Structure 1
Amino acid sequence: MSTTREGTQHEDHGNHFHRFLILGKEKLFFYHLALYKDSGHNYQAVYTFDVPDALRTKYLDDLKANEDKWVFYSLHCPDHFLLPDLKAGKKFNVFLERVLVLEDGAKRKFEEITGTRTEVTCTEVLHFRKLGGMDYPDYLTYLAFGAGKEIHLAHQLAQRPNWDEVVTVATDQTIDPATLKKVPTLVIDSIKDPRGVIKKSKLEKGKKYQGKINGNGQMIDFTVGRQGWWNHTSLNDD
């Protein structure tokens, strides 16, 4: 039986109970669900975690059953800690959640699909930046991370207001693993940055685009696949 919570991704009332989006099938990556307000959640971050096989299997089975639906998956952490303290080797407890999208993307409902806490270990911090101090870019800009043929693009959180999005894409070219591990930007210079909130992604599923690594490097042709996260509302709340 699942436990359901409605609302924003963080409702910890001054405590720091974090959520991490789950991305991938072959290798799992974890993306911190950020808020612009200075609440302890104002960080854009990408991690790898060591998770038990049972949790991984539960996630993959549920994803397979719901892959064509507008749902996301996250780990909800009931342990209190400040996000900068989450470094390689840190262990903490989580629940696996299915995240249902409501009201045309404006709200989310979080359903626990594991009934007990599971301990996971942070293995790598691939990207970590406190929000603020970054101007809107001229063109649509994403952070690129992943492994092998599974590449994930997270919209770079520059000025506020903005939108938070992650999509998984298929690339025609191989991105050097050493470059990918640094979580470079991918700049899509055919699309101007909206410089504000949008309610629908600029990247259409099934459509092909081109982007340049770090804006001036390797040209990457990619086809947009499944959307793994979207937030244009609570991200910007005061």
Structure 2
Amino acid sequence: MTTAPMPDTVSATADRHGHRFLLIGKKTIFSYHLGLYYVPIHAFQMITRFGLPDGLRDTYLADLAAHEDQQVYYSLFTEGHWPLQDIVDGKRTSLPVELERVTVDAQGNRTFTPILDAVDVTCRKEDVVHYRPLDPEAGYPDFVTALSFGQGDEVHLTHRLAGAPNWDEVITTVNPQGFQPGDLTPAATVTTTVKDPHGAAPKSPLTTGTRYEGKIGDRTVAFTAGRQGWWNNTSLNKK
């Protein structure tokens, strides 16, 4: 199966087709699949960890440090439209990937620029933190809900995708409180006190630097919204 490149992106890999995984974190680096509601092979929300070679890890961390205060993201591009279930089932144990710097212009167009030649990363089914299909017909929650993942004091939140249209986002928290190791693997659902906008929000409902509370089950957690590691309210929803 092949599909056209996402129309709001420019990329040196635009004439090829494959999966992209956003890199999230510093101490422990996670990979977040770039999901698309209406492209069946990409209609999944997935969080996992890849085994990264030192050269890729060092290049990513150095480039991130140089762009820490900018709207810059990082992705791994791997060619081919194979099913993500292959990772979940343990059928696929390695991937050739290219490290990309993702920049965003004033109109919101994203440019994916390779900054490291292709290398192999390893993947293990036991490192999958979250995996679920997207359902554009699902209802919206009353409040913004997120999936928590990370390790130790490095806690990330990604918007739990419900119905379409919607927005896709990953943030790293600052001073997270109340999170337990079992909330991060597998990813737990965090329900905040912020009203869900029920659509493709024009900007994040979680403001950087603002303190929020939420619930995991009956337990209260708290966090300050920190650096945004991914944002998409456009190609996510394109039919």
TM normalised by structure 2 equals 0.89
**Could you list the per-position Cα deviations for residues 112-133 of structure 1 after superposition, in whole angstroms to 9, with x for gaps in the alignment?**
001x210001131111111015
Given that residues 178 and 220 in structure 2 are in contact (C-alpha distance below 8 angstroms), is that contact kept between their aligned partners in structure 1?
no
Aligned counterparts of 1:80 and 1:197: Cα–Cα separation in 2: 26
Q: Which runs of 5+ in 1 are unaligned?
A: none
After superposition, residues 1-238 of structure 1 pair within 5 angstroms as 7-8=8-9, 17-87=18-88, 88=90, 90-104=93-107, 106-114=108-116, 116-123=117-124, 124-132=127-135, 134-189=138-193, 191-213=194-216, 216-238=217-239
Q: 1:174 Cα deviation (Å)?
A: 4.3
Given that residues 151 and 168 in structure 1 are in contact (C-alpha distance below 8 angstroms), is that contact kept between their aligned partners in structure 2?
yes
Given that residues 16 and 81 in structure 1 are in contact (C-alpha distance below 8 angstroms), is that contact kept between their aligned partners in structure 2?
no
TM normalised by structure 1 equals 0.89
Given that residues 156 and 173 in structure 2 are in contact (C-alpha distance below 8 angstroms), is that contact kept between their aligned partners in structure 1?
yes
Aligned counterparts of 1:141 and 1:9: Cα–Cα separation in 2: 31
Q: 1:217 Cα deviation (Å)?
A: 2.6
Residue 58 of structure 2 aligns to a residue whose secondary structure is helix
User: What RMSD over aligned residues (CA atoms) do the two structures have, in Å?
Assistant: 2.1
Residue 118 of structure 1 aligns to a residue whose secondary structure is strand
Q: Which runs of 5+ in 2 are unaligned?
A: 1-5
Aligned counterparts of 2:196 and 2:221: Cα–Cα separation in 1: 19
Aligned counterparts of 2:165 and 2:182: Cα–Cα separation in 1: 32
**Could you list the per-position Cα deviations for residues 123-166 of structure 1 after superposition, in whole angstroms to 9, with x for gaps in the alignment?**
31111111015321010111110111111111111000000011
Q: Which runs of 4+ in 1 moved over 6 A?
A: 9-13
The number of residue pairs the alignment matches comes to 228
TM-aligned CA distance change 1:72 to 1:61, over 3 Å: same
Residue 56 of structure 1 aligns to a residue whose secondary structure is helix
Number of the residue aligned with 2:3: none
Instruction: Name the aligned partner's letter for residue 114 of structure 2.
Output: E
Aligned counterparts of 2:154 and 2:214: Cα–Cα separation in 1: 16
Q: Percent identity?
A: 44
TM-aligned CA distance change 1:172 to 1:129, over 3 Å: closer
Aligned counterparts of 2:102 and 2:14: Cα–Cα separation in 1: 17
Q: 1:38 Cα deviation (Å)?
A: 3.1
